[in-house]
């Protein structure tokens, strides 16, 4: 399948000002030349298109799965929108998400939606420290289901406290693939072929040389 959707996603994120260039201080205290905030996909049309990009990335990865799981809170609207996008493509997929605090009345419990079973794909916006992935894996395995992959919007391909990126750490620790709509490599390729945006290429490449990782473990 063509990877053109990855560059289309970058253009989409730029148009929605979800992806911006400049100087931005990260949680790690690094000064990044770009910033990606998926929380800014906050209208119906943006969420619809974002979900369609997730479906394309998941299809391109060719990973078998039975249902979707969205960790609270950002994963909740994502997993619902992606399930709708799959239905529009002719596949009816179950989904569920967790509560931050378990409910002790009504239906009770910490999981909302379909029962966790079979091969479960976790959906989130990004992976930073990997905390939500770890919590999701524990919940899924606690229900005797199998966490089979993680799908995110952007892989920054950036080292954490060690030599690996957060995505590589998740892949190593849980032995499951991480699917991304786009990566830092895709962003660099986009800048290399886009005259209007190419002025940002030098700063992004410098940042990648200093903090980036190559490939996936």
Q: What's phi and psi for 146, nearest 5 deg?
A: -120, 110
Q: What is the DSSP letter of 165?
A: B
Q: Scan for tokens 């959906």, then name that residue.
A: 123
The Cα 199–Cα 188 span in angstroms is 11
The Cα 210–Cα 75 span in angstroms is 30
The Cα 85–Cα 71 span in angstroms is 18
The Cα 55–Cα 71 span in angstroms is 18
Helix (H) or strand (E) holding 172: helix 166-174
Rounded to the nearest angstrom, the gap between the alpha carbon of residue 154 and the centroid of all alpha carbons in its chain is 6
Give the chain's largest Cα–Cα span.
Answer: 58
Tell me if residue 105 is catalytic.
yes
Both ends of the chain: CA-CA distance in Å? 23
Q: What's phi and psi for 33, nearest 5 deg?
A: -80, 0
Give the active site residue among 105, 175, 210, 216: 105
Q: Extract the tokens encoding 11.
A: 């253009």
The Cα 35–Cα 2 span in angstroms is 26
Give the active site residue among 103, 175, 210, 216: 103
Catalytic residues: 103, 105
């Amino acid at each position: 399948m063509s990877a053109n959707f990855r560059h289309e996603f970058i253009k989409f994120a730029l148009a929605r000002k979800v992806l911006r260039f400049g100087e931005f201080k990260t949680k790690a205290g690094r000064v990044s030349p770009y910033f990606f905030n998926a929380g800014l996909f906050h209208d119906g049309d943006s969420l619809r298109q974002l979900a369609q990009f997730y479906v394309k990335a998941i299809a391109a990865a060719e990973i078998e799965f039975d249902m979707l799981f969205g960790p609270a809170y950002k994963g909740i609207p994502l997993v619902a929108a992606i399930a709708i996008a799959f239905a529009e493509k002719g596949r009816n997929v179950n989904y569920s998400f967790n509560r931050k605090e378990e409910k002790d009345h009504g239906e009770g419990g910490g999981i909302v939606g379909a029962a966790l079973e079979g091969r479960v794909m976790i959906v989130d916006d990004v992976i930073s420290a990997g905390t939500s992935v770890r919590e999701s894996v524990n919940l899924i395995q606690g229900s005797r289901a199998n966490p089979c992959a993680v799908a995110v919007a952007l892989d920054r391909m950036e080292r954490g406290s060690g030599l690996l990126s957060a995505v590589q750490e998740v892949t190593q620790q849980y032995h499951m693939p991480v699917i991304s709509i786009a990566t830092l490599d895709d962003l660099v390729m986009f800048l290399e072929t886009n005259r209007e945006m190419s002025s940002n290429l030098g700063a992004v490449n410098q940042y990648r040389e200093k903090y980036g990782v190559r490939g996936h473990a």
